[in-house]
Structure 1
Amino acid sequence: MFAVVRTGGKQYRVAPGDKIVVEKLDGNAGDTITLGDILLAGDGSDLKKTDGLKVSAEIIAQAKGEKVTVFKKRRRHNYRRKKGHRQQHTILRIVAIGDHKAEKKAAPKPEKASAPAPSPAKSEAAPTAAAPKAEKPKAEKKAAPAKAAKPAEKPAAKASTKNAAPAKGAAKKPSKPKK
């Protein structure tokens, strides 16, 4: 099944599984949105009514387009202006085309946060393996030789320089005699 949708002032022919780049839409990556402005829908050469049809899409990413350079110049007037612009885009993956019932079926996302429950055999073995590691005392590191004495002496030597520059404004130049 395919549909022609309008978004961002442009029209796109889409089918489930297609990826399209449209003008910026609100949402974050992973969100599911619905495109409601359906202009045409069909399956092969058969056209269908667009009443109540919705296209559900998943936002893959919010991105910027290629840079467009605008350069203005007026010859012999020393007038040059250069500007650049990168248009904001949203990359969509079309999930389903259908009425509101089909959209609800396609909307559930796989949960990434939940992890599968460990098997009982693994859960029993893990604490026993972790317990000996926790009980073992860690080997103490050898103390490094004291190097603090040498750096302490160096800054003191730097502070007392023999050829110190005179303070600004301390020395005045002799003025020229007036005629």
Structure 2
Amino acid sequence: MYAVIKTGGKQYKVVAGEKLKIEQIPADIGSEITIDQVLALGAGDTIKFGAPLVSGATVQATVLSQGRHDKVRIFKMRRRKHYQKRQGHRQNYTEIQIVSING
């Protein structure tokens, strides 16, 4: 069984036991979280779509860690104008492990 969930403005296809990094959510390490924004559920060749959410469907997950991604370097330059700008960004994330999908 798999589910398509929405969190942090992004959509993820998840199965039980999978680890993934999502946008940071305020939760303690080791705590259990419930994601109730389930867009679709699938099992084998049957798929159940929501309009926009599947009613009564939830995904249980455990928070494994909080961290920051690798640095993304931004470099802007205007040729012949002596303009250069360097900038970096590190996005925060929460690593979770999917425990169960309830639909």
Same-fold call, TM cutoff 0.5: yes
Percent sequence identity over matched residues?
40
Q: Which amino acid aligns with 2:72?
A: V
Question: What's the counterpart of residue 74 of structure 2?
Answer: 70
Structure 2 vs 1, CA of residues 47 and 77 (structure 1 numbering), >3 Å: closer, same or farther? closer
Question: What's the counterpart of residue 11 of structure 2?
Answer: 11
Q: Please state how far the C-alpha of 1:48 moved relative to its aligned partner.
A: 4.1
More relative contact order, 1 or 2 (CA 8 Å, 6+ apart) = 2
CA displacement 1:124-175 (0-9 Å, x = unmatched): xxxxxxxxxxxxxxxxxxxxxxxxxxxxxxxxxxxxxxxxxxxxxxxxxxxx
> How many pairs does the alignment contain?
99
Could you tell me which runs of 5 or more consecutive residues in structure 2 were left unpaired when the two chains were aligned.
none
Query: How far apart in 2 are the matches of 1:4 and 1:95?
Result: 15
Question: What's the counterpart of residue 98 of structure 2?
Answer: 94
Query: How far apart in 2 are the matches of 1:55 and 1:40?
Result: 11
Q: TM-score, normalised by structure 2?
A: 0.88
Q: Which amino acid aligns with 1:84?
A: G
Could you tell me which runs of 5 or more consecutive residues in structure 1 were left unpaired when the two chains were aligned.
100-179
Q: TM-score, normalised by structure 1?
A: 0.52
> Hey, which of these two has a bigger chunk of strand by percent?
2
Query: How far apart in 2 are the matches of 1:25 and 1:91?
Result: 10
Structure 1 segments (4+ residues) deviating >6 Å: none
CA displacement 1:75-96 (0-9 Å, x = unmatched): 2222111010011111110011
Whether 1:80 and 2:80 are equivalent positions in the alignment is no
Matches within 5 A, 1:84-163: 84-98=88-102
Q: Please state how far the C-alpha of 1:45 moved relative to its aligned partner.
A: 1.1
